[in-house]
Amino acid sequence: MSTPTFRSVLYVPGNRPRMLAKAPTLPADAFVLDLEDSVPPGEKAEARRLVREALLSGAFAGRAVLVRVNGLASGLTQDDLAAVVVEGLFGVDIPKVEAPDEVREVEEMLAWAEGRAGLPRGTLRVGIGIESPAGLLRAEAIGRACRRLLSLGLGAEDFTFNLGTQRSPTGEELFIPKALVALVARALGVQALDTIYPDFRDPEGLVREAKLARQLGFSGKYAIHPDQLGPINRVFTPDEAEVRWAREVVEAYEAAQGSGLGSVAVGGRMVDRPIYERARRTLELAARWGITA
Ligand code: COA
Ligand code: MG
């Protein structure tokens, strides 16, 4: 099964019925219904119940929905999975992963939960949250340990805490972690999801951060608020100028190839195979998101 690339992935706190009800009306490419850090300890059981109800209601039919379970250290993971693994759920996000064994353990629980829900083993995909220096340094092994890997994502709030620092407006402390998460995800052939931008009333800052993420190789970005979805989707969608350029490149390169040439000039720039391949990918993304130029 080919998986669509998610430009925007919206976190929805699992204990907030109003937000769970609103989510399906919003233009996120995917949703993460959260049982972890947006839910206080006293509300975990209620959040499980609300998330299960939302999944079974059919309100998300046709949309990609994941649930972020609590990590192994919490002791809550298995009960989370038992409550939320139902038909129609697309996948599970595992937070704060630091070692390959954790992934294997959660995958076993997941297979158990799938069996219990009458789903074929391996139905659900897995997103992995890299949220600490230890996790980052083992990210490749962690990713390779997972047989149903969908994405690697960076969780910058936990990451900077574990690094002994904090997020700055300019973000230098996250430059290397972001670059590494994108590199590893691309090396493994899975989606790379950039961390949330917490200041949801600052669209310019959000767009700046999303553009940097795209430049570093991320395929999409997590969001926390409905207002962030439009800007994120736009940044991760080719614009009309990119689509026009891509079309010119593809036409010129294919014509050149027909006459036995491997490179050609387009608008004063050299175009060879990788530039042609990138142009084709741009056109594929544009077609997927309905962009014409
Ligand atoms: N998912 C779905 N709906 C959301 C939402 C979300 N993440 N965030 C806000 N909304 C809804 C609100 O319920 C409100 O809907 P309404 O007008 O029908 O009542 C509307 O969008 C506007 O929200 P607003 O009043 O601007 O924000 P808020 O003060 O209600 O919420 C936050 C702000 C940050 C608390 C909220 O966006 C949030 O909880 N985000 C997710 C946080 C999270 O999951 N963190 C963990 C991952 S890092
Ligand atoms: Mg976190």
User: CA-based angle 83:112:48, to the nearest 5?
Assistant: 10
pLDDT tens for 62-92 read 999 999 999 999 999 999 999 999 999 999 9
Q: How many whole angstroms separate alpha carbon 13 and alpha carbon 10?
A: 10
Strands 8-13 and 64-68: unpaired
Q: How many helices (H) and strands (E) does the chain have?
A: 12, 10
Quote the pTM value: 0.96
Checking if the pLDDT of 1 tops 60, the result is no
Average pLDDT, the chain: 96
Cβ proximity of 246 and 282 under 8 Å: yes
Work out the number of other CB atoms within 10 angstroms of the CB of residue 81. 25
Q: Which ligand is nearest to the CA of 198?
A: 1
pLDDT tens for 2-37 read 677 999 999 999 999 999 999 999 999 999 999 999
DSSP codes of every residue in 179-230: HHHHHHHHHHTSEEEEPP-S-TT-HHHHHHHHHHHHHHT-SEEEESSGGGHH
Q: Which ligand is nearest to the CA of 129?
A: 2
Helix, strand, coil content of the chain in percent (nearest 5)? 50, 15, 35
Task: Give pLDDT, residue 291.
Answer: 86
Cβ neighbourhood burial of 59 (10 Å; 0-12, 13-18, 19+):
middle
What b/e sequence results for 149-173 when a residue is b if at least 16 CB atoms lie within 10 Å of its CB, and e otherwise? bbbbbbbbebbbebeeeebeeebeb
Task: Give pLDDT, residue 231.
Answer: 98
Cβ proximity of 12 and 5 under 8 Å: no
Q: What is the mean pLDDT of residues 57-63?
A: 97
pLDDT tens for 130-159 read 999 999 999 999 999 999 999 999 999 999
pLDDT tens for 201-218 read 999 999 999 999 999 999
Work out the number of other CB atoms within 10 angstroms of the CB of residue 46. 13
- Pocket-testing residue among 10, 18, 22, ligand 1, by greatest number of atoms within 8 A of Cβ: 22
Cβ proximity of 26 and 10 under 8 Å: yes
User: What is the 224 CA–ligand 1 centroid distance (Å)?
Assistant: 7
- Hey, what are 240's tokens? 């009309």
Task: Give pLDDT, residue 293.
Answer: 72
Cβ proximity of 256 and 263 under 8 Å: yes
Q: Which residues line ligand 1 (CB under 6 A)?
A: 10-13, 18-19, 22-23, 34, 37-38, 196, 200, 224-226
Q: Which ligand is nearest to the CA of 131?
A: 2
